[in-house]
């Protein structure tokens, strides 16, 4: 009888215990050479009983190797392997350094040591005491993830505190599968609860059912396959998955790294106990929660505070000092973190910059923008609440100064949270920020195919100020765009923006669809089979054809009057100034048109959602033209910045000469147009005057708030040791 798949809740929650018993799977043959799948099992208090019960329910042959990591007294001899050998027919041994991993064996960590996986062996090292204390489970799980990938399975059993949570996160990110013991059955539920609350667990089950799932996974093709054996060529089934994801989330994964996407899809099939992609497609169609679960699996939200400390040291030494040179006290330092995940990177940069500025005479404002395609992780970032595992990466002094202890762990304090703005944004589709000093985009580009990487690097170049900085991950590079960026620190992957050298700007797509059309791999350009096209697809294609043929030319601009998209043939209405290239609307339009545009945009901004100027007689590019223009305001629900669409419509001028009898009528019409233009100019001057008064009033209010804040800050600074000037003042 076919088992129905278990479905996670809408927030990518793990599969929980079911009343249905799992039938015993057929035993799987072991793999020689020490490269079999490995199950890391971690426990602390109550671990002996949990280990023993788990082993009692496991069959003798699973094809898996089991490594048990227990918190042990470093000064006492362990008899754990002898005790556990009574609960299983598998061979149970205490680990010796360099021991070869073999399937259907149980390996037990010795006391006073740390254990890790290296190729096909287990390595022992000195007992480690980090900032978060002794965390042998996290240490082992992270090495297991690095060396086994999809062959890594992590299980967290009874214990206190949070050891194992970060390790399960690493295993899941590497394509492995994560378990936690059901809290009700755990003698000490702290460790399982920490992993479950962190959202890094695939299954929450009692010990008996964990054993049944492990036995099943021992024969699962995904777990037994080598990473490079997982199909990476998208067929019709995968395209259908992409279409469902695009419809549900607005994200097109067609140009994401296909090997990663395929592994994620295969992982979800394995977790849901589905054998064929066709069956999984049916599950996606009837279960929106599984679509969201796959979406979050693909995005791989793996981050932590002060990740790769050497990169932050390089920022302190080489970037932050340069940002202060010739900077006025009212000019903020602007940083953008695309793909910010749950916010740790953005907060880390804000904290480190506040620390750097603490002893500087000038109080420089700080603005950190964090964006991600997942609304769920953006909400987590905005709350700024993290569990106790951050103690491993955040110093006690930083915890004291910049965090508040809560019953759930730690919350970033208000002073730092106010420096950071988080918003949902698709970095490959939505317009970027601008006038930035630093972009930190670490370990994001590696998940894109080269076609997207080549489009994003020029976007980053555009978004940065002259002499701005780009920070990438250790495995990333600017590729062929050496003319846009020069390496500042090759080891830490810090790049300095270069001037364009007077040459033409590279191809830059802002605000448009980055889905590949001509540059994508051949197998993605193949015309999909007719049955893939739905009625909605046909209607969209019809809209595209009609729009291309009949829609008038226009522009899309942001609230700062920067052009973010050209629509149709707009060259007759643009006349860029000579000198440094600019996308500012009023530097691109001739004076005859700029005034009318300014009036219409002002009307759309202050009044209704649109403004129209009828029958404007202008001379553009030396030719008389009669045009109408319309400005439509766009108020996005998520992005705070407004945008405007400008539409040009031209009326052909009559070629025949005007009869003398109509000369007076034409003169009257010209007189009337001059009156209308004069009225429009007066209206524009009145608007400017009102805006000036409103701005002065806002400045007065802001000045009063600053004076009040300064008084409060002085009181707080006197009552706090050491002073927390930058954290609060900013």
Rg (CA), the chain: 31
CA distance 710 to 707: 5
Distances, alpha carbon 439 to alpha carbons 142, 364, 435, 451, 639, in Å: 28, 18, 11, 20, 19
Q: Tokens 């340069």 correspond to what residue?
A: 322
Residue 39 burial (C-beta neighbours within 10 Å; 0-12, 13-18, 19+): buried
* CA torsion, ordered 268, 272, 275, 276, to nearest 10 deg: -60
Judge whether 727 and 401 are in contact, CB under 8 Å: yes
Dig out the tokens for 347 from the structure: 């907060």
- Confirm whether 71 is a catalytic residue: yes
* Active-site position among 44, 114, 348, 374: 44
Distances, alpha carbon 9 to alpha carbons 13, 153, 245, 292, in Å: 5, 22, 17, 9
- Find residue 619's DSSP bridge partners: 624
Judge whether 141 and 167 are in contact, CB under 8 Å: yes
Judge whether 643 and 564 are in contact, CB under 8 Å: yes
First-residue to last-residue Cα distance in the chain: 63
The closest of 388, 395, 431 to 410, measured between CA atoms, is 388
Report, in this order, helix, strand and coil percent for the chain, each rounded to 5. Answer: 45, 20, 35
227-232: list long-range contacts, CB under 8 Å, 24+ apart. 227/149, 227/150, 227/175, 227/263, 230/150, 230/259, 230/262, 230/263, 230/266, 231/262, 231/266, 232/258, 232/259, 232/262
Using DSSP, state whether 245 is helix, strand or coil: helix
CA distance 566 to 387: 46
User: Can you say whether the dihedral through the CA atoms of 598, 601, 607, 612 is positive or negative?
Assistant: positive
* Active-site position among 163, 297, 387, 437: 163
According to DSSP, residue 90 is labeled S
Judge whether 334 and 437 are in contact, CB under 8 Å: yes
* CB contact set of 525 (below 8 Å; sequence gap of 6+): 516
Residues with catalytic function: 44, 71, 163
């Amino acid at each position: 009888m076919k088992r129905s798949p278990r479905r996670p809740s809408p927030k990518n929650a793990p599969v929980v215990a079911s009343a249905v018993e799992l039938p015993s799977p057929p035993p799987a043959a072991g793999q020689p050479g020490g490269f079999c799948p490995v199950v890391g099992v971690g426990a602390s208090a109550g671990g002996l009983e949990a280990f023993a019960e788990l082993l009692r329910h496991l069959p003798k042959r699973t094809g898996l190797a089991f490594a048990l990591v227990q918190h042990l007294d470093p000064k006492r001899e362990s008899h754990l392997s002898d005790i556990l050998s009574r609960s299983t027919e598998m061979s149970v041994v205490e680990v010796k350094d360099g021991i070869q991993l073999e399937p259907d064996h149980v390996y037990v960590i010795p006391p006073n040591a740390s254990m890790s996986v290296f190729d096909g062996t287990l390595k022992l090292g000195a007992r480690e005491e980090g900032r978060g204390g002794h965390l042998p489970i996290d240490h082992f799980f992270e090495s297991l993830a690095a060396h086994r990938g999809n062959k890594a399975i992590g299980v967290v059993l009874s214990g206190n505190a949070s050891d194992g949570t970060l390790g399960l996160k690493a295993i899941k990110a590497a394509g492995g599968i994560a378990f936690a013991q059901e809290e009700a059955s755990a003698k000490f539920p702290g460790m399982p609860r920490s992993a479950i609350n962190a959202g890094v667990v695939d299954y929450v089950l009692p010990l008996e059912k964990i054993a049944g799932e492990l036995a099943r996974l021992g024969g699962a093709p995904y777990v037994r396959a080598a990473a490079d054996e997982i199909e990476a060529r998208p067929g019709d089934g995968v395209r259908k998955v992409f279409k469902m994801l695009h419809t549900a989330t607005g994200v097109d994964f067609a140009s994401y790294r296909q090997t990663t996407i395929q592994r994620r899809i295969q992982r979800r099939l394995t977790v849901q106990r589905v054998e064929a992609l066709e069956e999984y497609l049916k599950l996606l169609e009837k279960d929106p929660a599984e679509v969201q679960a796959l979406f979050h699996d693909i995005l791989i939200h793996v981050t932590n505070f002060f990740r790769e400390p050497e990169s932050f040291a390089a920022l302190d030494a080489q970037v932050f000092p340069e940002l202060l040179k010739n900077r006025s006290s009212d000019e903020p330092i602007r940083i953008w973190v695309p793909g910010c995940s749950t916010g740790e990177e953005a907060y880390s940069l804000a904290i480190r910059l506040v620390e750097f500025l603490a002893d500087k005479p000038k109080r420089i404002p700080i603005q950190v923008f964090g964006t991600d395609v997942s609304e769920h992780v953006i909400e987590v970032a905005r709350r700024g609440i993290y569990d106790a595992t951050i103690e491993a990466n955040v110093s006690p002094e930083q915890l004291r100064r910049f965090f508040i202890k809560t019953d759930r762990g730690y919350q970033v304090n208000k002073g730092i949270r106010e420096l950071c703005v988080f918003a949902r944004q698709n970095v490959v589709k939505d317009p970027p920020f601008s006038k930035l000093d630093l972009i930190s985009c670490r370990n994001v580009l590696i998940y894109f195919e080269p076609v997207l990487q080549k489009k994003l690097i020029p976007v980053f170049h555009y978004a940065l100020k002259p002499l701005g900085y780009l920070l990438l991950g250790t495995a990333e590079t600017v590729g062929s765009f050496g003319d846009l960026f020069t390496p500042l620190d090759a080891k830490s992957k810090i790049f300095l923006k270069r001037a364009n050298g007077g040459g033409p700007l590279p191809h830059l797509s802002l605000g448009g669809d980055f889905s590949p059309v001509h540059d994508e791999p051949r197998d993605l350009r193949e015309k999909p089979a007719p049955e893939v096209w739905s009625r909605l697809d046909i209607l969209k294609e019809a809209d595209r054809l009609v729009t291309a043929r009949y829609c008038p030319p226009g522009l899309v601009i942001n609230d700062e009057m920067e052009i973010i998209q050209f629509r149709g043939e707009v060259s007759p209405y643009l006349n860029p100034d000579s000198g440094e290239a600019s996308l500012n609307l009023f530097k691109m339009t001739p004076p005859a048109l700029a005034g009318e545009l300014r009036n219409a945009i002002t009307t759309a901004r202050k009044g209704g959602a649109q403004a129209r100027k009828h029958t404007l007689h202008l001379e553009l590019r030396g030719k008389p033209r009669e045009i109408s223009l319309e400005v439509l305001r766009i108020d996005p629900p998520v992005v705070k910045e407004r945008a405007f669409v400008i539409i040009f419509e031209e009326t052909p001028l009559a070629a025949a000469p005007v009869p003398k009898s109509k000369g007076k009528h034409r003169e009257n019409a010209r007189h009337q147009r001059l009156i209308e233009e004069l009225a429009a100019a007066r209206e524009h001057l009145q608007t400017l005057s009102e805006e000036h008064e409103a701005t002065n009033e806002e400045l007065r209010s802001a000045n009063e708030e600053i004076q009040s804040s300064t008084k409060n800050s002085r009181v707080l600074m006197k009552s706090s040791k050491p002073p927390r000037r930058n954290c609060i003042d900013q």
